[in-house]
Structure 1
Amino acid sequence: MFEIRPTTYGGRGCFATCAIPRGTLVHIATTPFTAVIFRDFRKEVCAYCFAYEINRTWKVRLRGTESAGLWFCSESCREQWVNEEDPSCELVPVLEVIEQAVAIARRKLQSAKTGEYDEDFVHEDFSFESDAIEKLWEHVEGLVTSNSVTANPLRNPTLKNRVLALEDIEYDSARLVAVAIVRLYLESYNTSTVPWFTWNGFSGLESHEKDLINRLPALLESHIRVFIFLKAIMPKKLQPFVTTANVRAVLGRESANAFGIWQLPLNSESECLGSSIFPSGSYFNHSCDPNVIKTRNGRQMHFTTSCAVRDGEELCISYGMMLKMPVQARQNLLQEQWYFKCGCSRCTAELATAA
């Protein structure tokens, strides 16, 4: 029904291989490659179907002693998550150790009455140029393998507790990255037959790490802390996959390729409950006059034509709730959050009229 191929304006997109009627379901992204429910909402959002009810806490947890920071709206959703998301039983122990490590480190810091973690890696005079960022990551990777107690944050008890006591946004990022690394580990000895659910399928997405750091410089420090945290807590067999390159790959691609897990029904008052990455869905580019509507159906993302599409026409979605905005406001928002200048036919026409 459609194929992915290069666009005339750069990158790749989805193009119809035949005429498609309005209301046609052209694609279902069945499950995220990686996803996280934000810490503030994790007790109120089902970890499987993403069901959310305001001021209602779900009661169903995983069986046994491990909770792994997961809540479910029903026993059925719990069983489906276990069977579909962690059939190898490799993911739950990793998520559980994240929970324990953060909780223990926060208690230790609180009892020691020490302040929040100091920004020891990114100093005020840091240049944020590409070369400087690369050298900093090389320096950090060297530190975690160093034998120096004063320099290596994993050997210095005070530094280690400060790193492990992640802030909530870093906790969310650590879980998002950890799921992807477990996927990569499993793929290393059991090749997936689903191309969009492989590390290669995921890493084919464009990284916007540089754009993200330029917009929000403080995130560089957070990303470094996430890497060091995962080096500290990941099981030995996963350690070869916890590299700066892999951590940066996930966080750089999440910034412009993720689909927000929004409260339904979706409207301007909806809360964003989490973040999910569906590699196959990320090849639908944006248009301010889209011909495809994306909707979340439980854990899945559905893509349905909103009008008749011609053979060879590009299939486009709207990246956010911006279609009623004036053209310049849309342009500014897309540049700020998705790092591109929209050149769709609607923007082109409206900009010409405004000029």
Structure 2
Amino acid sequence: MTSVGHSRWRLPMSEIFAVKETASSGRAIVTQINAPPGCHLLTTESKHSPIAHVILRPYRRAVCAWCFLYDRGRQWKIRDLAEGMAFCSIQCRTHWHANNDTVCREAFRAIETSIKGQATRQNHGAMEESTYEGSAFVEGSASPDSVDEAWAMVKEQGTAVVRARTATKPSKAQRAIVGHAADLTSDPDILSYVLSGILATYRSGGSHSDGNGCVISIDAEDLLPSLFELVPDEKVFVENHMTPSPLDDYTSTYLLLLALLPATLLPLIAPKLVINLASRAAHNAFSIRPEGTTDGDQSGEFLGWGVWPEASFFNHSCRPNVRKDRIGRLWSFTVDIDAGKTVQQGQQLCITYLGGDERDLDVAERRKKLQEQWGFRCLCDRCLEESGES
């Protein structure tokens, strides 16, 4: 497979398909040949794949931290307790360690300690407010203006944390600033997800020091361009009737990571990266579920989620012609054999964003689900036919 696009990261492309702009659905994967049933289209890259992910906290001991294997809830016995990781085999543990150097493992240990500390405080009824006094964000009022104000204020707070942590002799006030940030609370899954994206950025860019012990500011877009190629959800932090805004958790996560992670990582912990990790996941993440299900990632227990950039260019259809299958850390896409049709040259290759019983919903209910969760009104052939619009 070759690719076209960003100078540091290329959009997926092969002799079989290409990513093209469409009139109604943005960028899409379109066939360049007549693709028969069973034709292999794409397997995601193995290096640093996915670029950001999380296994939900209740499943951490039952899902392998490397290959994501899940065996009906059975807890894996091979564990790195300090980092909060469990593995299905020695081989997977070895792979995980090869991908995570001492800086990464120190980061995992710091966050695992923080999450356990949050749980302890919560059990003892001693949870503190998760933002600094005077924060611009008031829970339940996440309008676009308040979102911008909150990030501006939190960025100032973050700058103070970095200054305190990089000071040769931090003052008492500076130590207090770091201490307050370290005591903040955040959703453990969001905290772990953002950490994974920061570590992917670190692995892409190596060390970030000027040689004199001073950290260097790095543009995350240069180090993790594949993330920034994806279409963001501009309203990811805006309150809606379905779910509360995650703004508080993401701003607290930003400050917590600045206070806790190794100094080597400080140049990478920027609001821009945190915001983009949130906004890209909203419409591009694939759910992690048990392998071997009949419809890829859309059935079985919801174990977590991740962002695989190469896979994000498949658009949705309620009558998909592409099957997706997770194989360990990778995704494989083939022309659906069950559909029994060759996808003609020039046609879109589409997966389904729906799963299980959702596929049996009527057109109005399917469109409502897709509009609310992914922000578009479905105009696939099936919806047009069932609505009488074709």
TM-score range, shorter chain: 0.7 to 0.9
What is the deviation of 1:81? 2.4
**Who is 2:289 aligned against?**
262
Instruction: Provide the rounded CA distance (Å) in 2 between the counterparts of 1:292 and 1:252.
Output: 26
Is the Cα contact below 8 Å between 1:211 and 1:339 reproduced in 2?
A: no
Whether 1:344 aligns to 2:344 is no
**Who is 1:244 aligned against?**
271
Q: Give the number of aligned pairs.
A: 336
What is the deviation of 1:198? 6.3
**Who is 1:194 aligned against?**
none
Tell me which amino acid in the other structure corresponds to 2:64. Answer: C
Shift of the 116–53 alpha-carbon distance from structure 1 to 2, 3 Å rule, reads: farther
Shift of the 200–123 alpha-carbon distance from structure 1 to 2, 3 Å rule, reads: same
Instruction: Provide the rounded CA distance (Å) in 1 between the counterparts of 2:231 and 2:68.
Output: 26
Corresponding residue to 2:370 among 315, 329, 334: 334
Instruction: Provide the rounded CA distance (Å) in 1 between the counterparts of 2:352 and 2:122.
Output: 44
Is the Cα contact below 8 Å between 1:28 and 1:301 reproduced in 2?
A: yes
**Who is 1:131 aligned against?**
145
Deviation string, structure 1 residues 59-98 (Cα, Å, up to 9, x no partner): 1124xxx641110111112122233x33x44422211211
2:78 counterpart SS class: coil
Shift of the 91–114 alpha-carbon distance from structure 1 to 2, 3 Å rule, reads: same
In the alignment, structure 1 segments of 5+ residues that lack a partner are 191-196
Whether 1:207 aligns to 2:207 is no
What is the deviation of 1:156? 7.2
Tell me which amino acid in the other structure corresponds to 1:138. Answer: A
Is the Cα contact below 8 Å between 1:109 and 1:161 reproduced in 2?
A: no
What is the deviation of 1:222? 1.3
**Who is 1:223 aligned against?**
250
Is the Cα contact below 8 Å between 2:63 and 2:69 reproduced in 1?
A: yes
**Who is 1:103 aligned against?**
116
Tell me which amino acid in the other structure corresponds to 2:279. Answer: G
In the alignment, structure 2 segments of 5+ residues that lack a partner are 1-15, 165-170, 208-221
What is the deviation of 1:152? 9.0
Instruction: Provide the rounded CA distance (Å) in 2 between the counterparts of 1:304 and 1:155.
Output: 52
1:210 counterpart SS class: coil
Is the Cα contact below 8 Å between 2:236 and 2:278 reproduced in 1?
A: no
**Greater mean deviation of Cα atoms: 50-59 or 249-258:** 50-59
Instruction: Provide the rounded CA distance (Å) in 2 between the counterparts of 1:225 and 1:36.
Output: 17
Percent identity for Structure 1 against Structure 2: 28
2:29 counterpart SS class: strand
TM-score in terms of structure 1 length: 0.85
Whether 1:275 aligns to 2:305 is yes
Instruction: Provide the rounded CA distance (Å) in 2 between the counterparts of 1:184 and 1:348.
Output: 42
**Who is 2:219 aligned against?**
none
**Who is 2:345 aligned against?**
311
Instruction: Provide the rounded CA distance (Å) in 1 between the counterparts of 2:139 and 2:277.
Output: 26
Whether 1:18 aligns to 2:52 is no
Instruction: Provide the rounded CA distance (Å) in 2 between the counterparts of 1:239 and 1:324.
Output: 48
Is the Cα contact below 8 Å between 1:154 and 1:232 reproduced in 2?
A: no
Tell me which amino acid in the other structure corresponds to 1:255. Answer: A
What is the deviation of 1:54? 2.6
What is the deviation of 1:218? 3.2
TM-score in terms of structure 2 length: 0.78
What does 1:113-124 correspond to in 2, within 5 Å?
Answer: 113-115=125-127, 117=129, 121=135, 122-123=137-138
Shift of the 283–55 alpha-carbon distance from structure 1 to 2, 3 Å rule, reads: closer
Deviation string, structure 1 residues 258-289 (Cα, Å, up to 9, x no partner): 11011244378721001111100000010111
